[in-house]
Structure 1
Amino acid sequence: MEIKNWYVIGIMSGTSLDGVDLAYVKISRNSGYDFELLQTESLEYSELWKNKLQGAFTISGEKLTELDAEYGIFLADQVRKFIAKRNIKKVDFLASHGHTIFHDPQKNYTLQIGSGAHLAARSGYKVICDFRVQDVALGGQGAPLVPIGDKLLFGTYDFCLNIGGFANISFDLGSERIAYDICPANIVLNHYTRSRGLDYDDKGQVASQGQINKGLLDELNNLEFYLQQRPKSLGYEFVEEMILPIIENYGLSFKDILRTYNEHIALQIANEIDSKSKILNKDNSTVLITGGGAYNDFMIRRISELSKAEIKLPSNQLIEFKEALIFALLGVLKEQEEINCLKSVTGACMDHSSGVVYGSKLK
């Protein structure tokens, strides 16, 4: 097979509001797919943008439509600055995740803002985006989408675990790729750190000084979501309606909240890894961990202590930009109309090639 290369900028904004990740990548296809992370940058949100995105959950339809366009223009400006600063010469297209505002597939909807039309028009590049909507329309969860990239690019690991706003896992079970959200993660921890003027709990230092509240830990661990069978995914609605009210009922100190919730995350992750390792007959499973939670040394230590698996932490660049990289791959697959969304992962009625293309003839 002739080797083919694509040069793509993947754009990722996570629910934890850490910022926008930009990854300029080279995706190559020969007998399989390979990648090079050529240039990367993580852009922190200003307080203004943090407030806009955090508050988007509650604003009117008209204001949300306006924000969708405004955010698409914002992303385009960041991409243009990135290209100029890094002196990037060749870009085939942009692949944008957008920023999730609503996600409730049980009610047949999901919404990621960052208008692809405005992003394409303002940047001057073709844009592939809206990767989740078609899957929900086909009866799926619309999430997680990263597992196809885990399979094609990181298939040597038994499990791929991402700890971002939510923790999710993917792995091969027989001939199928399986994936699902495990639990809310940084989206809860950062809610409390930001209330104290901290963007996050650096390395889990604050959490390590707290005490576990057994009543809160047990109540969290007994939530019905953890008994549900896959496919399953989580959105901010679950955090707002279920997690935060439970935590608030206990009136704990800041340190004890972080300590208890870190333990909750670690327990849920370790239980998933070890229970699935048994099904796979794996005694020494390997787990690739990426996402912002990989920098939470305290949480990673607790996962290692609670699980029998071997934890693998890659380079900082891959920890931070794996999702942006994989959305670039999703764009490459969509451009060829190859499958980039797996029914075994999302529960859709069929495997499919998801995404919407804007601006292909603007240049």
Structure 2
Amino acid sequence: MKHGMIRALGMMSGTSLDGVDAALIDTDGQRIGGFGRSGYRAYSCNEAEILHAALGRWPGDDGVTEAAALSVAAHAALAADFPEAELIGYHGQTLAHDPGGRGTHQAGSGAELARQTGRRVVWDFRTEDVRQGGQGAPLAPFFHWACADWAIREGRMEAVPVVFLNLGGVGNLTWVDPAAGGPETGCIAFDTGPANAPINDLMRARGLGARDDGGALAARGRADARIVADFLRHPYFARTPPKSLDRDAFAGLSEAVKALPDADAAATLVVALAASVAAGLDHLPASPARLLVCGGGRHNAAIMQALSETLPCTAEPVEAVGLDGDMLEAQAFGWLAVRVLRGLPISGPATTDAPAPVCGGRISPARK
């Protein structure tokens, strides 16, 4: 393994189940040397149905083999567009997450992806953290610390505490203190609550498309305050972090909005999302100077407005400091892949509740 910077291809398919993101990153596993080009492969309607059908299932259950094979094939097809990548960080497709019980399940074999791509693959990032008693999620926080370090070195932000809020299927935030010596001591992270997943599921269930593009539907609706108040009574919000969620941990919220008209249901889910983030900020050492939003949720104007109206700090897309909010999670798994190669921790007590910093992940050699 060469010293210095490695060009890694990070790949991510989140719980929103819309497609695969891929992004190149140059890193030594600590600092970010630079960002490369990126790409996206959308799932077809049939592919999305296969993945949706396997949600909540574990190895050996019906539909899991098909979902795993689909994940590998989709990632391999997209990876072919990046021949310059020296290795691949492959997250797999999360189907179930139960760290206090059965563990965590990301479908898709990194060994098979290495065979199909002919390149070394780092994968299975979460299992070791869970085995050691951690939540196994979120895993992007150490990368968020590296992003803050990069933005400060580039003169794009001041060296003050900042929060990264990722809005994928589930929401998660990372408190980053740049004054700390590294991610092991400079991060606090946890899942905030449901994000895009219930909104996407609502749209699909009502035949309105795959997502509420731009938040247009929610913007026309009126949130049901009673449903939001009931949602906030869930014991999860009072739990001290670190803590993590399964995609469908708040199925009761989706059930509660079923009787509402389309726009009101969407508006209620948006306000609930913002309220859950506000509840999360109460667990931080102080209110951050700014909150940087990444993930698909930042494209939803109704969500961004709800955050601005609810939070005590400015909410803005991560592009404000020169980062790519669509590709941050993919970049994270490229960065984490290099950390795994170098034997560096990828999670720790303040991010996943593991008892000590965890060097997780598996490495599959290139095979033809």
The two structures have a TM-score, normalised by structure 1, of 0.89
Cα separation, 1, equivalents of 2:355 and 2:292: 29
Residue of structure 1 in register with 2:107 after alignment? 113
Aligned partner of 2:227 among 212, 216, 223 = 216
Equivalent residue of 2:327, what SS? helix
Cα separation, 2, equivalents of 1:307 and 1:239: 22
Q: Which runs of 5+ in 1 are unaligned?
A: none
Cα separation, 2, equivalents of 1:62 and 1:145: 28
* 2:39–2:78 Cα contact (<8 Å) kept: no
Between 125-134 and 261-270, the greater mean CA deviation after superposition: 261-270
Cα separation, 2, equivalents of 1:295 and 1:95: 26
1:176 Cα deviation from its structure 2 partner: 4.5
1:3 Cα deviation from its structure 2 partner: 7.9
Cα distance per residue 1:47-67 (max 9 Å; x no partner): 111001000136662642353
Query: 1:56 aligned to 2:49?
Result: no
1:359 Cα deviation from its structure 2 partner: 2.0
Partner amino acid, structure 2, of 1:230:
P
Query: 1:42 aligned to 2:4?
Result: no
1:317 Cα deviation from its structure 2 partner: 6.7
Between 122-131 and 190-199, the greater mean CA deviation after superposition: 190-199
Cα separation, 2, equivalents of 1:185 and 1:218: 17
Residue of structure 1 in register with 2:246 after alignment? 235
Query: 1:263 aligned to 2:271?
Result: yes
Equivalent residue of 2:297, what SS? helix
* 1:148–1:341 Cα contact (<8 Å) kept: yes
Partner amino acid, structure 1, of 2:328:
K
* 1:271–1:307 Cα contact (<8 Å) kept: no
Higher helix content, 1 or 2: 1
Query: 1:126 aligned to 2:120?
Result: yes
Cα separation, 2, equivalents of 1:236 and 1:28: 32
Cα separation, 1, equivalents of 2:34 and 2:138: 23
* 1:69–1:118 Cα contact (<8 Å) kept: no
Query: 1:200 aligned to 2:211?
Result: yes
Equivalent residue of 1:238, what SS? coil
Q: Aligned runs of 1:1-363 on 2, under 5 Å?
A: 4-28=4-28, 33-57=31-55, 61=61, 63-80=63-80, 82-83=81-82, 88=83, 90-155=84-149, 156=159, 158-172=162-176, 175-195=185-205, 196-240=207-251, 242-248=252-258, 251-273=259-281, 275-276=282-283, 279-280=285-286, 282=287, 285-315=289-319, 318-360=324-366, 362=367
Distance 1:310 1:276, change over 3 A: farther
* 2:274–2:306 Cα contact (<8 Å) kept: yes
1:28 Cα deviation from its structure 2 partner: 4.6
Residue of structure 1 in register with 2:156 after alignment? none
* 1:75–1:114 Cα contact (<8 Å) kept: no
Equivalent residue of 1:107, what SS? coil
Equivalent residue of 2:5, what SS? strand
* 1:23–1:39 Cα contact (<8 Å) kept: yes
1:230 Cα deviation from its structure 2 partner: 1.4
Cα separation, 1, equivalents of 2:239 and 2:283: 15
Q: Which runs of 5+ in 2 are unaligned?
A: 150-158
Partner amino acid, structure 1, of 2:55:
F
Partner amino acid, structure 2, of 1:116:
G
* 2:94–2:105 Cα contact (<8 Å) kept: yes
Distance 1:113 1:23, change over 3 A: same
Cα separation, 1, equivalents of 2:46 and 2:195: 24
Partner amino acid, structure 2, of 1:299:
I
1:287 Cα deviation from its structure 2 partner: 1.1
* 2:28–2:339 Cα contact (<8 Å) kept: no
RMSD of aligned C-alpha atoms? 2.2
Paired residues in the alignment total: 346
Partner amino acid, structure 1, of 2:44:
S
Distance 1:319 1:33, change over 3 A: same
Cα separation, 2, equivalents of 1:239 and 1:53: 19
Cα separation, 2, equivalents of 1:352 and 1:293: 29
Partner amino acid, structure 2, of 1:167:
G
Cα separation, 1, equivalents of 2:280 and 2:97: 23
Cα separation, 1, equivalents of 2:355 and 2:115: 34
Cα distance per residue 1:94-113 (max 9 Å; x no partner): 00111100101110411101
Equivalent residue of 2:203, what SS? helix
Cα separation, 1, equivalents of 2:353 and 2:311: 28
* 1:102–1:110 Cα contact (<8 Å) kept: yes
* 1:148–1:342 Cα contact (<8 Å) kept: no
The two structures have a TM-score, normalised by structure 2, of 0.88
Partner amino acid, structure 2, of 1:197:
L
1:208 Cα deviation from its structure 2 partner: 1.0
